[in-house]
Amino acid sequence: MEVSEAVQRRRAVRAFDPRPIEDEKIHMLVEAMRLAPSCNNHQPWRVTVCDGEALHRVRECLSRGNAWATKAPMIMVLSSKPSEDCRMSEGRDYYQFGCGMAVGQMLLQATELGLIAHPIAGFDPAMARVVLGIPVDYVVITFIICGYPGEDESLLSDKQKAQQLERPERRPLDHNFFRDAWDRPLK
């Protein structure tokens, strides 16, 4: 699959097939993250792959609106801390940027493998830190819900079911992208 095809295909789907992800594919996802760019190659991401005994405990950390994620056979928990990466002037702590790049690269790999990888913010980070033994000075940044696409939409709200049907509309190009100055739209 071409990168451009993976970019177009990638979706934040919420209906999962419960079958486990093969170890080979898990390693490919992890390798995509491992090879992601980071400031001075610090690789600030710390990822706990939960597909065994920890999966149930991590599911307990999900917010009510993310009940659909309990059907997924794997949850990756990504954490880091500012001192793990470059700390620049004006509050430019690069650790979250580096983690975001690693997740973005992994999302494309998951798409190529026919998997869903859906990052979420709706979880209890303090509880996740406790159930996984993540040190208190680390920020639990995101959960990435992973698995094969499925048909069971029983845990989805009507709104979530509608979101499954098509990609959400994106903002117009000139809202987010500029050329040479903030107020000059990229055309």
Residue 181 within any structural domain of the chain: no
Share the mean pLDDT of the chain: 89
Residue 172 within any structural domain of the chain: yes
pLDDT at 133: 97
pLDDT at 155: 72
Count of CB atoms within 10 A of residue 181's CB? 6
- Mean pLDDT, rounded, for 18-33: 97
Q: Rounded CA gap, 187 and 179, in Å?
A: 8
Give the residue, 172 or 114, on which the prediction is more confident: 114
Residue 165 has pLDDT above 80, yes or no: no
Residue 182 within any structural domain of the chain: no
- Mean pLDDT, rounded, for 66-71: 92
Q: Rounded CA gap, 22 and 179, in Å?
A: 44
pTM of the model: 0.87
Residue 99 within any structural domain of the chain: yes
How far CA 12 is from CA of 107, 133, 135, 137, in Å, comes to 10, 28, 29, 30
Backbone angles phi, psi at 98, to 5 degrees: -60, -40
Fill in the amino acid letter for 43: Q
Please say whether the dihedral angle defined by the alpha carbons of residues 119, 143, 123 and 46, taken in this order, is positive or negative.
negative
Residue 121 within any structural domain of the chain: yes
Q: Which of the residue ranges 54-58, 60-64, 176-180 would you say has the lowest mean pLDDT?
A: 176-180
Residue 183 within any structural domain of the chain: no
pLDDT in tens, 91-130: 888 999 999 999 999 999 999 999 999 999 999 999 999 9
DSSP state of 68: G
Residue 89 within any structural domain of the chain: yes
Residue 144 within any structural domain of the chain: yes
Residue 1 has pLDDT above 90, yes or no: no
Its domain, for residue 117, covers: 3-176
Q: Rounded CA gap, 186 and 45, in Å?
A: 33
In the chain, the number of structural domains is 1
Helix (H) or strand (E) holding 58: helix 54-59
Q: Rounded CA gap, 114 and 26, in Å?
A: 12
Backbone angles phi, psi at 162, to 5 degrees: -65, -35
> CATH number of the domain that 17 lies in?
3.40.109.10
Percent of the chain at pLDDT above 70? 94
